[in-house]
C-alpha cells in the first residue's frame, strides 16, 4: 500500500518524458523479498502508467502471475518495480524511449523459458512482458506472429491450412526467445533453424523508432537477428515461412540402461545423416537417471515429415530393444500439444558443449555424468537429465545457400550438442548445483579437446549463465554484430539498461 501511495505522489498525470523528481531509496516489499526503489525505475513506472495498459505494481492483482507464474525456471522469479504489458508495438517503442530518458534498467519476457535469473526478469527494474502482442495472421506460405505467442499457438493457427513452421519442439516455448537465438526444431536437417525461416522482423529500436527488417531493408540487421539474440532491439512481429505438411509421422520410444550404448550410436548416426534429397526428421533424445533407484532410461521423441509410419529416419533407434514404442501419424499441433513443459517446474541449470559424433566417447561422457550425479544425490528434488541435440550437415547448408546466412557460421559438418539439464528444489543448493554442473561440463569438454573431438559451438538455448556462446561464433561475425549493434543502438539501450540474456559484451 505504501508503495502504491508513493507512486501516486509522483505526478501520474504528467505525460511529459522529462525526468521527474522522485522519492527513491525505500525498500519495497514483494512476495519474494524486497528491492530498493531506484530513481530510474520509479521514473519509468510512473511514465508507463499513463498508457492504457498501465503498470502492475508489487501490490497489484496480477503481479505474481507476471513475475512468477509466467516463468519456467523457479530461479528466474524476481521482483520488478513494475510490470508493463504493452498492447501495441507503439507502446513497446515508447517504453524504450522512456527507459532511455529515465535511465531505467529493464527486462523483456517472451515465453519465459530462458532459464537463468535475469535473462528475462529483473529485481527492482521494469519488466516488459510481451504476452499481449499476440496477433497472428496466416498467409498462403507465411505466418505473421506476435512475440506474445507460443509455438503451440503457431502450430494451432497453421493446422487448418495443413502447414507447419520451423519453431520449438515442446508446447509452451515462446516464439521470440527461440527464434532470436536460433531454434532447434525437428526439421532442421532440411529446412534449417527457426532463425533461417524468418523472412521479416518488425523491430522497435532503442531510440523508439520502428523498422521493418528483411533482406531488402536493413539487411545487416536482418543477418544479425539470425542468432544474435536480444542485442539489437525488441522484435514486435516475426514473419515466418511455412511448409505444406498436413501430418507428421511420430515415434516415442524408451529404452532401459542396456540400450544406451546403441542409443548413443543412433544419435551419432542421426547427426551424420546427409542425404542428397533429405527427408525432414529430428528428435529430442535424452537420458534420465533416478538417483534413488539408480536406474537410467533413454527416450526418443522423433518426428518426420509426411505420413510414412513408422518413420524411416529412426530405423537405427527402432532396432534397439525398447521398453515402449508408439508410432503415430498426426498433426504438428496434436503432437506438440502432448509435450508440455509446465511453468515453475523446478530450479534448473543448463550446461552444454558440442563435439563431433563419436558413439563410444559420447557413451563414456554419459557414464562419467551418471557417476557424478551420484555425488550430489542428496540434493533435494534432484532431477538430472543428459540431453543430446544434433546438428546435421544439411542444417548448415540452408544458411550457406540462402544468400543471407546467420551469425553461427557453422560448417556443414555433423555435431552433437551434449547438455546437462539439472533440476532441484531448494535455493540453498543453488551454488552447489551450479558449480557441479559447470565443473563437470568443463571436465568432459577437456576430454573431447584431448581426443580432437571438441567443438567451440555453444547454443544459447542449452547453455548456462556461466557460458559465453559468442566465443564459439566466428570472430569476424562477432565483430560485425558489434558494428551493427553500434549503428542501430548507439546509446546502448540493450547493453547498458538491459543486461539479461546472452549479451555481446563490449
Ligand atoms: C523446457 C524447454 C524446452 C526447450 N526446447 C527447445 C527447443 O525445442 N528448441 C530450441 O531451440 N530451444 C529450446 N529451448 C530453449 C529456448 O529456445 C530458449 O529458452 C528461448 O529463449 C525460449 O524463448 P522464450 O520466448 O520462451 O524465452 P524468454 O525467456 O521469454 O526470452 C528469452 C530471451 O529473449 C529475450 N526476448 C524475448 N522476447 C524478445 C523480443 N521480442 N525481442 C527481443 N528480445 C526478446 C528475453 O529478454 C530473454 O533474454 C527450450 C527451453 C526449455 C526450458
The pLDDT of residue 191 is: 98
The pLDDT of residue 23 is: 63
CA distances from 204 to 84, 131, 179, 231 (A): 16, 16, 16, 12
- Residue 338 and residue 352: Cα distance in Å, rounded? 26
The pLDDT of residue 6 is: 38
- Residue 260 and residue 388: Cα distance in Å, rounded? 13
The pLDDT of residue 341 is: 83
The pLDDT of residue 193 is: 98
Backbone angles phi, psi at 249, to 5 degrees: -100, 125
Ligand 1 center from residue 342 Cα (angstroms): 14
CA distances from 263 to 42, 271, 393 (A): 54, 13, 20
Cβ–Cβ under 8 Å, residues 23 and 5? no
**Domains with residue ranges and CATH for the chain:** 37-129 (3.30.43.10), 136-245+474-488 (3.30.465.10), 248-465 (3.40.462.20)
Residue whose CB lies within 8 A of the most ligand 1 atoms, among 114, 202, 230, for a mutation test: 114
First to last CA, the chain: 41
pLDDT in tens, the chain (506 residues): 333 333 332 333 233 333 444 467 788 999 888 899 999 999 999 999 998 878 999 999 999 999 999 999 999 999 999 999 999 999 999 999 999 999 999 999 999 999 999 999 999 999 999 999 999 999 999 999 999 999 999 999 999 999 999 999 999 999 999 999 999 999 999 999 999 999 999 999 999 999 999 999 999 999 999 999 999 999 999 999 999 999 999 999 999 999 999 999 999 999 999 999 999 999 999 999 999 999 999 999 999 999 999 999 999 999 999 999 999 999 999 999 999 888 998 999 999 999 999 999 999 999 999 999 999 999 999 999 999 999 999 999 999 999 999 999 999 999 999 999 999 999 999 999 999 999 999 999 999 999 999 999 999 999 999 999 999 999 999 999 999 999 999 999 999 999 999 999 98
The pLDDT of residue 259 is: 98
Q: Is 140 exposed, middle or buried (0-12, 13-18, 19+ CB in 10 A)?
A: exposed
Count of other CB atoms within 10 angstroms of residue 17: 15
The pLDDT of residue 4 is: 34
Q: Which residue has the cell 539474440?
A: 229
Q: Which residue has the cell 560485425?
A: 480
Ligand 1 center from residue 119 Cα (angstroms): 10
Omega into 310 within 30° of 0, i.e. cis? yes
- Residue 189 and residue 169: Cα distance in Å, rounded? 14
Ligand 1 center from residue 104 Cα (angstroms): 23
* Helical ranges in 135-238 per DSSP H: 151-158, 175-181, 188-191, 219-224
Element housing 12 (H / E): none
CA dihedral angle for residue 205, residue 207, residue 209, residue 212, rounded to 10 degrees: -20
Which is nearest to 255 in space by CA: 317, 302, 309, 303? Answer: 317
The pLDDT of residue 414 is: 98
Whole-prediction pTM: 0.95
Q: What sign results for the dihedral spanned by CA atoms 279, 285, 421, 393?
A: negative
- Go through 423-436 and write b for each residue having 16 or more CB atoms within 10 A of its CB, e for each that does not: bbeeeebeeebbeb
Closest protein CA for atom 43 of ligand 1: 234
Residues with a CB atom less than 6 Å from ligand 1: 72, 108-115, 119-120, 130, 147, 168-170, 173-174, 176-178, 180-181, 183-184, 230, 234-235, 341, 461, 500-501
Ligand 1 center from residue 364 Cα (angstroms): 30
Amino acid at each position: 500500500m505504501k508503495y502504491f501511495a508513493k507512486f501516486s505522489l509522483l505526478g501520474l498525470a504528467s505525460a511529459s518524458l522529462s525526468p521527474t523528481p522522485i522519492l527513491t531509496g525505500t525498500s519495497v516489499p514483494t512476495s519474494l523479498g524486497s528491492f530498493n526503489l531506484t530513481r530510474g525505475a520509479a521514473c519509468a513506472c510512473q511514465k508507463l502508467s499513463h498508457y492504457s495498459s498501465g503498470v502492475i505494481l508489487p501490490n497489484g492483482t496480477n503481479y505474481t502471475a507476471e513475475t512468477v507464474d509466467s516463468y519456467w525456471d523457479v530461479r528466474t522469479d524476481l521482483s520488478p518495480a513494475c510490470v508493463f504489458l504493452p498492447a501495441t508495438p507503439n507502446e513497446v517503442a515508447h517504453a524504450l524511449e522512456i527507459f532511455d530518458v529515465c535511465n531505467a534498467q529493464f527486462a523483456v519476457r517472451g515465453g519465459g523459458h530462458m532459464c537463468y535469473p535475469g535473462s528475462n526478469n529483473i529485481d527492482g527494474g521494469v519488466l516488459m512482458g510481451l504476452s499481449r502482442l499476440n496477433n497472428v495472421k496466416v498467409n498462403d506460405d507465411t505466418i505473421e506472429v506476435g512475440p506474445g505467442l507460443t509455438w503451440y499457438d503457431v502450430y494451432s493457427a497453421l493446422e487448418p491450412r495443413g502447414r507447419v513452421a520451423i519453431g520449438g519442439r515442446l508446447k509452451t516455448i515462446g516464439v521470440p526467445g527461440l527464434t532470436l537465438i536460433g531454434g532447434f526444431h525437428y526439421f532442421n536437417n532440411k529446412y534449417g533453424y527457426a532463425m533461417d525461416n524468418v523472412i521479416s522482423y518488425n523491430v522497435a529500436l532503442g531510440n523508439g523508432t520502428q523498422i521493418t527488417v528483411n533482406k531488402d531493408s536493413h539487411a545487416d540487421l536482418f543477418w544479425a537477428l539470425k542468432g544474435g539474440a536480444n542485442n539489437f532491439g525488441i522484435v514486435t512481429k516475426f514473419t515466418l515461412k511455412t511448409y505444406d505438411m498436413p501430418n507428421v509421422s511420430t515415434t516415442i520410444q524408451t529404452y532401459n540402461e542396456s540400450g544406451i550404448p546403441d542409443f548413443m550410436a543412433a544419435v551419432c548416426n542421426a547427426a551424420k545423416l546427409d542425404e542428397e534429397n533429405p527427408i525432414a526428421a529430428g528428435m529430442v533424445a535424452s537420458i534420465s537417471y533416478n538417483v534413488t533407484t539408480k536406474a537410467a532410461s533413454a527416450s526418443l521423441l522423433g518426428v518426420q515429415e509426411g505420413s510414412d509410419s513408422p518413420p524411416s529416419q529412426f530405423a537405427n533407434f527402432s532396432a534397439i530393444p525398447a521398453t515402449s514404442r508408439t508410432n503415430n501419424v498426426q498433426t504438428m499441433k496434436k503432437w506438440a500439444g502432448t509435450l508440455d513443459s509446465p511453468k515453475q517446474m523446478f530450479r534448473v541449470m543448463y550446461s552444454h558443449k558440442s563435439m563431433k559424433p563419436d558413439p563410444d566417447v559420447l557413451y563414456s561422457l554419459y557414464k562419467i555424468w551418471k557417476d557424478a550425479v551420484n555425488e550430489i544425490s542428496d540434493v533435494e528434488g534432484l532431477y538430472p537429465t543428459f540431453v543430446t541435440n544434433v546438428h546435421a550437415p544439411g542444417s548448415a547448408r540452408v544458411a550457406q545457400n540462402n544468400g543471407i546466412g546467420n551469425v553461427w557460421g557453422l560448417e556443414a559438418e555433423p555435431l552433437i550438442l551434449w547438455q546437462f539439464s539439472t533440476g532441484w528444489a531448494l535455493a540453498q543448493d543453488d551454488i552447489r548445483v551450479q558449480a557441479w554442473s559447470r565443473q563437470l561440463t568443463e571436465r568432459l569438454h577437456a576430454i573431447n579437446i584431448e581426443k580432437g573431438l571438441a567443438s567451440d559451438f555453444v547454443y544459447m538455448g542449452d547453455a548456462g549463465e556461466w557460458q559465453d556462446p559468442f566465443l564459439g561464433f566466428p570472430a569476424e561475425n562477432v565483430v560485425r554484430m558489434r558494428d551493427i549493434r553500434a549503428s542501430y543502438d548507439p546509446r546502448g539501450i540493450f547493453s547498458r539498461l538491459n543486461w539479461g540474456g546472452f549479451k555481446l559484451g563490449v
